[in-house]
Amino acid sequence: MFLTHISSPNQSSQFILSTGKSRGKGAIVGAILGGLAFLLLLGLLALFWTWRSMKLKKPRRGDILGATELQGPTNFNYHDLKAATNNFSEKSKIGEGGFGDVFKGLLKNGKIVAVKRLSVMQTSRAKEDFESEVKLISNVQHRNLVRLLGCSRKGSECLLVYEYMANSSLDKFLYGERRGTLNWKQRFNIIVGMARGLAYLHQEFHVCIIHRDIKSSNVLLDDDFQPKIADFGLARLLPDDHSHLSTRFAGTLGYTAPEYAIHGQLSEKVDTYSFGIVILEIISGRKINDTRTEAETQYLLESAWKLYENEDVIKLVDGSLDHEEYMPEEVIRIIEIALLCTQSVVASRPTMSEVVVLLLSRNSPEILPTRPTFIDSISRVRGETSTSSSSTASKATASISHLSAR
């Protein structure tokens, strides 16, 4: 049939050429469509495997700590850690607190670590819960949180191995032996870093972790003076209903939110309150319960509020700071954020993710802070230290009976 339609050599040549072009176009279109179909299939397969892996890895919310699907911490040899800390000698001790003493350790590979020595209950349930908690903490990774590297167990004793922070804790730079060495930029970066670390614990990690004991001594500084919050997760975690009554007091009076210290009411806003107190310490260079002079009987929070009421809050700024390093408007804005965090009404306090936004904004908060609850100047709370025992919790409740929202 092809030949019967050829009427001349010229026509034949033209016909054959046209047919070749049509077949070439069809092959190209077919190849493109086939390639697109293949790529679409690969994309669908990739989406399926991603969804399947996420479903398998997602921790079960019903688990007590949500840690059943998480990778466990590194197991260190107990005797190696004992040798690394010179048998937990006083010379190696670099800190102490309600959860246990901390020792500087030099491992066999030359790595310097911080070893926290704890005593845990002997019951099988307590061991199981503690191991789940340690497993969970070891999976928390954020630039503003101290990393748990591993642990070791021997009888009732448990050793937690953390990354070592060369510059120690924040309190030493505010009102300790290294007071006055932090400039305004460093202080501001510490405030923002702390806020980001707490926002991660509260809202970005798959389980909400409430620290309960945010204070300057629990904020460590690395070589670049970046803050890293320590001791998170060692107290009980927030349950699914996001609010409960806790019979186990874990906090430090002065930093602890009134609703938790008095009534045991626990929520993320407990950490928000404590964070606000630390902001005031960072800006003023004063400790929360430091009255400075005999004539000045007000504690830091009360002083800050009265200066705010008198529109003279700039007087709170640490005298060791160079006035040319900061703008008064910025410092006043940060103090206002601190007062928002320490409000008496829990619901009025911002979440930590909201605090991060407020800190990074150049505008003053649109909402004005309300009067906080602070310790009366005649209170006997002065000098109380951190504890987690129920007996001290009772004593704490009795001591802060002078608390008032004035």
pTM, full prediction: 0.73
Residue 140 confidence (pLDDT): 92
Q: How confident is the model at residue 226 (pLDDT cuts 50, 70, 90)?
A: very high
- Is 176 part of any domain? yes
Nearest C-alpha neighbor of 183 from the set 217, 214, 145, 225: 225
Average pLDDT for 334-349: 96
Q: Which of 213, 231, 271, 318 is catalytic?
A: 213
Same domain, 130 and 177: no
Same domain, 144 and 188: no
Same domain, 144 and 262: no
Average pLDDT for 192-221: 95
Annotation says 240 is catalytic: no
Q: How confident is the model at residue 386 (pLDDT cuts 50, 70, 90)?
A: very low
Query: pLDDT tens, 135-147?
Result: 888 899 999 999 9
Q: How confident is the model at residue 162 (pLDDT cuts 50, 70, 90)?
A: very high
Q: Which residue has the higher pLDDT, 173 or 253?
A: 173
- Is 378 part of any domain? yes
Residue 235 confidence (pLDDT): 65
What percentage of residues in the chain have a pLDDT greater than 70?
A: 70
Same domain, 150 and 273: no
Q: How confident is the model at residue 387 (pLDDT cuts 50, 70, 90)?
A: very low
Same domain, 237 and 97: no
- Is 235 part of any domain? yes
- Is 26 part of any domain? no
What span, in angstroms and rounded, lies between the C-alpha atoms of 284 and 157?
40
What span, in angstroms and rounded, lies between the C-alpha atoms of 357 and 195?
10
Same domain, 192 and 133: no
Q: How confident is the model at residue 3 (pLDDT cuts 50, 70, 90)?
A: very low
Question: Of the residues 109, 137, 163, which one is the last residue of a structural domain?
Answer: 163
Same domain, 241 and 220: yes
37: part of which helix (H) or strand (E)? helix 9-57
Average pLDDT for 203-231: 93
* CATH at 136: 3.30.200.20
* CATH at 273: 1.10.510.10
- Is 49 part of any domain? no
Question: Of the residues 137, 163, 189, which one is the last residue of a structural domain?
Answer: 163
Judge whether 116 is annotated as a binding position: yes
Does position 299 have pLDDT exceeding 80, yes or no? yes
Q: How confident is the model at residue 247 (pLDDT cuts 50, 70, 90)?
A: very low
Question: Of the residues 132, 163, 194, which one is the last residue of a structural domain?
Answer: 163
3-state secondary structure of 345: coil
- Is 27 part of any domain? no
Lowest mean pLDDT among 76-85, 210-219, 388-397: 388-397
Does position 36 have pLDDT exceeding 60, yes or no? yes
Top mean pLDDT of 65-79, 111-125, 328-342, 388-402 is at 328-342
Average pLDDT for 168-197: 95
Residue 234 confidence (pLDDT): 75
- Is 4 part of any domain? no
Residue 132 confidence (pLDDT): 79
Average pLDDT for 326-331: 94
What percentage of residues in the chain have a pLDDT greater than 90?
A: 50
Residue 88 confidence (pLDDT): 94
Residue 341 confidence (pLDDT): 97
Which residues span the domain enclosing 175? 171-402
Residue 276 confidence (pLDDT): 97
Query: pLDDT tens, 91-131?
Result: 999 987 667 889 999 999 999 999 999 866 566 666 777 77
The tally of domains found in the chain comes to 2
For residue 403, count CB atoms less than 10 angstroms from its CB and return exposed for 0-12, middle for 13-18, buried for 19 or more. Answer: middle
Same domain, 216 and 235: yes
Average pLDDT for 73-94: 93
Q: Which residues make beta-bridge pairs with 160?
A: 116, 151
Does position 297 have pLDDT exceeding 60, yes or no? no
Same domain, 359 and 214: yes
- Is 335 part of any domain? yes
3-state secondary structure 167-210: CCECHHHHCCCCCCCCCHHHHHHHHHHHHHHHHHHHHHCCCCCC
Signed CA dihedral, 99, 280, 192, 274: sign only: positive
Residue 375 confidence (pLDDT): 52
Does position 242 have pLDDT exceeding 80, yes or no? no
Same domain, 123 and 218: no
Same domain, 138 and 249: no
Same domain, 156 and 178: no
Query: pLDDT tens, 257-279?
Result: 999 988 889 999 999 999 999 99
Signed CA dihedral, 315, 317, 319, 321: sign only: negative
Indicate the average pLDDT of the chain.
Answer: 79
Lowest mean pLDDT among 52-56, 155-159, 384-388: 384-388
Cβ-contact 104, 163 below 8 angstroms: no
Does position 292 have pLDDT exceeding 80, yes or no? no
